[in-house]
Structure 1
Amino acid sequence: MPIEIIVAILGIETSYGHNKGTHPTLETLVKRAFGNYRRRNFYRKELESFLLMSRENAIPPLAIKGSYAGAMGYPQFIASSYRHYAVDFNQDGKIDLFSDPIDAIGSIANYFDKHQWHDFGEIARPISLSSTHLKYAKRSTNKPKKNTQYWRNKGLSIDPDIPNKTKLAFIRLPQQKIDETWLTFWNFYVLTRYNHDNRYAMAAYQLSKKIKQQFNQNNH
């Protein structure tokens, strides 16, 4: 798992721990589970996961604060994600995503591993699409299902270094004047498992490139 992706996500989510949220999480989940909110069933399950999480990790539920929607800690995990993906990465005998950045780093890596991140796989490339082919680019999450050969047969101009069997998808990102179009690989789709918004995934990807570039410059 590229460390620059993890660093980018920690920056986007909480400014590296400086903004983990000030909303009492128990109150947030109770209101959303039983109030006049959409997705009440989802939040009822999250409330159950939250109470189990606090018991399993010996954290007083009233002491936990997070985002307005119930996300918590350095990586802004919801309660069910905390229970499924959080790990004791520094091996100190406890899982702590609220004050331990090492556990947070390992937990984000574990999240992507469990969602089948491909080591050394590409994430995205910009691509120009003709008006005929623009229909293939989605504004919503687009899972790669068709391989490169399929798209070449459709008449799309795909970079020659991409193997015929590689599965691809295409997205559109709204801009002020004209939408950006991108060719996306499996790992971009995995990024959208963390947050389903294509713009979030692209921000994480582009920030990670800047982080890696800066790191390399500083270490020459």
Structure 2
Amino acid sequence: MAAPAAATAAAVLYASRPDAMALADDLAERRGLDREWVRQAIGQARFLPQIPRLVLPPPPGTPKNWRAYRGRFIDPVRIRAGVRFWDAHADTLARAEREFGVPAEIIVGIIGVETIYGQQMGNFRVMDALTTLAFDFPAAHPRAAERQAFFRRELEQFLSLMDRTGTDPFEPRGSFAGAMGLGQFMPSSWVRHAIDFDGDGRIDLFKSPADAIGSVAQYFRAHNWTPGMPTHFAVRFDAERLKLDELLAPDILPTFTAARMQALGAVLDTDGQAHSGPLALVELQNGTEPPTFVAGTENFYAITRYNWSSYYAMAVIDLGREVTAARAAR
């Protein structure tokens, strides 16, 4: 893994990096791309020194706080924007729900959490962000090798996508991790799941809300969303039977039957007791206050495939519900 110091000079481009040029040649050969075009694209990318810092996890021992996290995404500004977005695209959201089985509420929650309905899609050049993370991913990260390999694959997918669509690779802007559009798709997700939902013959997740809506719904269908299944159920504990360590051992992967959860001291509400699929006990820490717990279904788990965080999934669910309530209140 190359040291970030090799590319820190303000005017130094990746053209000066032998490892970057070697990967460009390999990528071009394997993908059947023009070698000089790939070398120029990677060579003209700039190292962005702030990005390696942004991908580092919080220091060990940093307390998580669901209530604080929720407050970042569930606020009047975002809720009002969600109502406007739903009103403007109600027919498209209804069509996506019919065709893919994903509730409009969840799609609205995703796009709201990700970009406030297109207001904050990121201003990093995706080419710079992906190249920085592909070659200068911070070694201090606990999964540095795995994550750097991931971003090299994303860079490859991005350049292949730019070639197929005839797009200048330095044109798209996105997040510090290279996510793009209203729903913040990584290049591999764009390639696998993005669809033309407005019927104009092209896929545009930046300027077409319809394409973004359909693509988010398609993403969830591909990740095993089950139509009609709740995302989670309320849960309380029977202190005499509670085996919390055993309940939390699988993390958020649905593993337990409703009966087994109850046998281990997690008492479900009436709907949860009747649920026939596997469940997970989801813990949302609240800093120094007691944690919040819910019983997550396979649909809750599906939301975490968009972003691997139970806090994220619950924020998506809650924002969608708040927007639904705000529309109904009118």
Q: Distance in 1 between matches of 2:249 and 2:293?
A: 10
Percent of aligned pairs sharing the same letter = 34
* 8 Å CA contact retained: 1:140, 1:171: no
Aligned equivalent of 2:136, options 10, 35, 55:
35
C-alpha distance 16-160 of structure 1, shift in aligned 2 (>3 A): closer
Q: After superposition, what is the alpha-carbon deviation per residue over 1:96-138, rounded to whole angstroms, capped at 9, x for unaligned?
A: 0011111000000000011111111101123222453332454
**C-alpha displacement at 1:36, in angstroms?**
4.2
Aligned equivalent of 1:166, options 235, 258, 277:
277
Q: After superposition, what is the alpha-carbon deviation per residue over 1:135-190, rounded to whole angstroms, capped at 9, x for unaligned?
A: 24549851112211222333432223332633111111011311111111111000
Most deviating of 184-193 and 142-151 = 142-151
Amino acid at match of 1:149: A
Q: Distance in 1 between matches of 2:251 and 2:206?
A: 29
**C-alpha displacement at 1:2, in angstroms?**
0.6
Aligned to 2:18: none
Could you list the runs of 5+ residues in structure 2 that have no partner in the other structure? 1-101, 139-143
Amino acid at match of 1:104: A
1:183 aligns to 2:291 (yes or no) = no
Aligned equivalent of 1:156, options 262, 266, 282:
266
* 8 Å CA contact retained: 1:191, 1:201: yes
The structure with the largest helix share of the pair is 2
SS at match of 1:170: strand
C-alpha distance 141-16 of structure 1, shift in aligned 2 (>3 A): farther
1:46 aligns to 2:154 (yes or no) = yes
C-alpha distance 150-140 of structure 1, shift in aligned 2 (>3 A): closer
Most deviating of 151-160 and 185-194 = 151-160
Most deviating of 148-157 and 20-29 = 148-157
Amino acid at match of 1:19: Q
What is the TM-score normalised by the length of structure 2? 0.63
Aligned equivalent of 1:196, options 285, 288, 308:
308
* 8 Å CA contact retained: 1:141, 1:192: no
Q: Distance in 2 between matches of 1:167 and 1:178?
A: 25
Aligned to 1:122: 230
User: Displaced runs of 4+ in structure 1, greater than 4 A?
Assistant: none
Aligned to 1:64: 172
Q: Distance in 2 between matches of 1:14 and 1:140?
A: 31
Q: Distance in 2 between matches of 1:30 and 1:42?
A: 12
C-alpha distance 110-40 of structure 1, shift in aligned 2 (>3 A): same
SS at match of 2:106: helix
Q: How does 1:56-95 map to 2 (within 5 A)?
A: 56-95=164-203
SS at match of 1:167: coil
**C-alpha displacement at 1:32, in angstroms?**
1.0
* 8 Å CA contact retained: 1:140, 1:198: no
1:113 aligns to 2:221 (yes or no) = yes
Could you list the runs of 5+ residues in structure 1 that have no partner in the other structure? none
What is the TM-score normalised by the length of structure 1? 0.92
Q: What CA RMSD, in Å, does the superposition of the two structures yield over aligned residues?
A: 1.8
C-alpha distance 121-186 of structure 1, shift in aligned 2 (>3 A): same
